[in-house]
Amino acid sequence: MKGPKYASVSVETPTRKHPLDQAGNFSTLFFGWAQPLLRLGNERQLHPDDVWPLQPENQCGVVGRLFEPAFTQSRSILWTMLSLFGWQWLVVGLMQMLAVVASFFGPYVLQQIVSSMETDSFDVNWSLLLIASLVAVRILAALLATHSSMQAQLIVIKVTSALQHLLFQKSLRLDAASRRTKSTGEISNLFLSDIPTIVYFSTQFNQLWILPLQVVLTMVMLYNLIGWSTFVGAGVILVTIGANNITASGLQRSFSALTKLKDTRMKAVNEVFGAIQIIKFNAWEDKFADKLHTGRAAELRTLLTIFVWNSVGIFVAYLGPTVVTIVTFATYTLLQHETLTAAKLFTALNLFSMLRSPFVDFSFIIGDAIRSLVALRRHMAFLDMNEKPTDNVLTPTTIGEAKLKTYAKHDVVVALDDVTIGWDDTKPLFEKLTLTIQRGELVVIHGAVGEGKSSLCAALLGEMDKFNGSIFVGGRVAYFAQQPWIQNLTIRENILFGKPYDRVKYNRVIDACALTKDLTLFPAGDRTEIGQKGINLSGGQKARISLARACYSDADILILDSPLSAVDAIVQNEIFTKCFLGLLRNKTVLLVTHSPEIIQSNCIDRTIEVKNGCIIDSGRINKCDKLKPLIEPLAGRTRYLVDQDEDVAESPSKVDWSSDYSLLVSPTVSTPMGSTELFTPFSATSH
C-alpha cells in the first residue's frame, strides 16, 4: 500500500526544558534553579534567548484551550476562574494563612521572655530555646510567603493568558454591527486597563478571608491577655469597618463613572487622530482640542473624588488601630481595675500593631475587589455581544461529505455558490454570486474604485454577513490587506512571524519580493528594527515585507489585496515574474490589482471583474504554463482529500483544519483557517 501522495513536513525547532522541571527538592525549596539566570543577569544584560521557555501548563495555548470551553459552558468569568484555578488559589491561601499563623509566634515568645524576666528565677535555657524556635518559625514563614508569592504569580500568568485569549477570540468573532458599536479604544481599554485590574486582584483574592481571620486570631490572643476589654476594642473595629464600607461604596460609584469617562475620551481621541488630516486642513484644531480637554477635565474631577475617598479610607485605616489601643488600655486599667504589667503591655502593643496591617490592607482589598467587579462586568458586556455565524465560510471539516467530494474531484479550493453577502442586514452588497477557483490558479481581481474588491476578499475570510448560499475555502489562508501592517520588530521577525527560520526558503522569499537590494541599505540588514521604535519605511517597503510574510507562511491560498499599488513599474514587474509566476506557482493566488499590464497578461489563469454587485469571469487564459520560473516554486501542500493511489479518494479522509488563533496578533481579523496563516489586520474599506 502506497503512502499519501501529498504530505506536509513541519520543521522541528530545538526545545529547552525549564530548569524547575529538573530541579531537586533542595533546589526547589530555596530557588537554586534560578541562580544561573540571576548570575548571568548580574554579569551582562539579559537577552530574550536567555530566558527559559514557559512550562506547558503556563502557555497561552494550553490555558486558552481549557478556559474558553469552560467559559462557554458557564458564561461567567469568575466561576470559570474558580473552577480552573480554585484549587491553586486554595493552596496559595493555605500557605499565606500558615505564614500569618507563624507571625503570632513572635508575640507569644515576647510574652514568655518578659514574664520570665519579671520573676525571680529567670530560665536562660528556656529563653534561648524560645529565641531559636522563633528564628526557625520566621524562616519557615519566609519560605511559605515566598513560595505562595511565586505560585500566585503563576496564577497571574494563567489568568492573564486566559482573559487575553478570550477577549482576542471574541474580537475576531464580532459581527459587523458589533464592530461598529465597539470602538478600538474601548477594546484597547479592556486589554490595557481592565485585565491588569482583574489580574492584580487575583493575587489578593485570598486576603478577603485571611485578613478577617487574622483579626479574629489577634482578638482571641488579646482576650486571653487582657480580658473583656478586648470587646471594647472590637466595637471600635466594627465602627472602623462601617467607615470602610462607606468609603468603598463611594469608590465603586467613582470608578464606574471613571471607566465611562475614559471610554468616551479614548473614543474622541481615536476619532481625532483618524481624521487628523481633515482637521488640519480646516483649521479645527482648537475646537477638537477643547472637546478633548473637556473630556479630560471631567475625568480629572472624578479622579479627584477617588483620591478623596482613598484619603478618607487610608485615614480611617491608620487611625483605627490607634483608637483601639487607647480605648482598650483605658478600659482595662480604669474599668477593670487591672494592673498593666510589662509583659501584658509589650505583648498587647505587639498584637495591636499587628492589627494595623489588616486594617490598612483590607480597605485596599475592598477597593481592588470593587474595581475588579466593574472590570468583570465590562468584560461580560463585551463577551455577550453578537458574533458572526460560525458557518459563514465552510471548510473541509464543516462541509457536507458529498459536496466535499465534488469539490475535490475538480480540485476546487475556493467556491462561492449562489452567495448573497453584505456588511449588515440592511442592504446586500453582492447577490447570488457563483465562483469556483481551482488549486494552483493565479486569479486577478479588478474593477473600479468602490466596486467591492476588498469586500469580496473579506467574504472569503468570513468577515461579511452571509444571507444566502455557501462559501467554501479548502486550505490554509494568508491575507495581505490594503494597508500593509508592520510590527515593531526586526525585518526578519516581521517576515518569519513566529515560524522557524529556514535559510534557503527565506532567501527565496526575499529575492521573490524584491527585498534583496533594500536589505543591503539597512544598517543591520534584516536584523534592522522597523516600526514605531525603529527606522521608517516607505509604503513600497512595507508592502513588500508584508508580502514576504504571506509568502513565507507557505499557505495554500493567498488573498492579496493590492500588494503592488505602492511599488513602481520596474519593481512590480520583478515581483510579478519572480513571486507570482515563480515562487507561488504551485499556490492558489487571488490578486487584487489595478495594473492594466497584469490584468491583460497572458500568464495569469483568469481575471475576475467586480462591477455593479456582480462578478464577470473571463475564463482560463493562461498561455505561459511551460515558462520556466525564475525562482524555484514553493512546494504544494496537502490536499484536503488524500488517498493512497488516486488524487481524489473514493473513501476520503479529512485533514484536520483547525481554527486556532493563538498566534494571531491583530484583533480585527478572523478567518476559518489557522491563526498562523493570517498576517495583516483586515480593513473594511472597499476599493
Domain-embedded: residue 299: yes
Instruction: Mark whether 377 and 494 lie in a shared domain.
Output: no
Instruction: Mark whether 329 and 418 lie in a shared domain.
Output: no
Instruction: Mark whether 435 and 363 lie in a shared domain.
Output: no
Q: How far is CA 481 from the centre of its chain?
A: 22
Contact by Cβ (8 Å): 190, 266: no
Count of other CB atoms within 10 angstroms of residue 239: 14
Instruction: Mark whether 322 and 452 lie in a shared domain.
Output: no
Domain-embedded: residue 516: yes
Which of 329, 352, 383 is the last residue before a domain boundary? 383
Take residue 530 and report the three cell numbers written for it: 522597523
Looking at residue 335, which CATH number applies to its domain? 1.20.1560.10
Angstrom distance (rounded) from CA 486 to CA 542: 7
Q: How far is CA 368 from the centre of its chain?
A: 22
Looking at residue 413, which CATH number applies to its domain? 3.40.50.300
Domain-embedded: residue 605: yes
Instruction: Mark whether 372 and 421 lie in a shared domain.
Output: no
Among residues 112, 97, 173, 109, the alpha carbon closest in space to that of 393 is found at 173
Q: Which residue has the cell 493555605?
A: 94
If DSSP codes are grouped into helix, strand and coil, which group holds residue 568? coil
Instruction: Mark whether 241 and 328 lie in a shared domain.
Output: yes
Per-residue model confidence (pLDDT) at position 207: 86
> Which mean pLDDT values do the consecutive 10-residue runs of the chain (687 residues) have?
34 63 82 86 84 83 87 88 88 89 84 77 81 89 88 88 89 80 81 87 86 85 81 77 80 85 85 84 86 87 89 82 80 79 79 75 82 89 85 86 87 90 80 89 90 89 86 90 88 91 92 92 87 77 93 92 90 92 91 90 88 80 68 75 41 35 30 33 36
Instruction: Mark whether 110 and 176 lie in a shared domain.
Output: yes
588-592 vs 442-446, strand pairing mode? parallel
Instruction: Mark whether 379 and 405 lie in a shared domain.
Output: no
Domain-embedded: residue 663: yes
Instruction: Mark whether 306 and 419 lie in a shared domain.
Output: no
Q: Which residue has the cell 531537586?
A: 24
β-sheet bridge partners, residue 435: 416
Domain-embedded: residue 391: no
Core vs surface per residue 511-533: b (16+ CB within 10 A) or e: bbbbbeebeeebeeebebbbeee
Domain around 430: 401-677
Domain-embedded: residue 41: no
DSSP state of 227: T
Domain-embedded: residue 40: no
Domain-embedded: residue 476: yes
Instruction: Mark whether 219 and 286 lie in a shared domain.
Output: yes
**CA distances, 242 to each of 118, 235, 245, 529 (Å):** 41, 11, 5, 56
Contact by Cβ (8 Å): 439, 641: no
DSSP secondary structure string, 51-64?
SPPPPGGGSHHHHH
β-sheet bridge partners, residue 611: 614
Take residue 26 and report the three cell numbers written for it: 533542595
**For the packed helices 503-512 and 539-552, what is the interaxial angle rounded to 10 degrees?**
140
Instruction: Mark whether 516 and 656 lie in a shared domain.
Output: yes
Instruction: Mark whether 311 and 414 lie in a shared domain.
Output: no
Q: How far is CA 589 from the centre of its chain?
A: 31
Overall domain count for the chain: 2
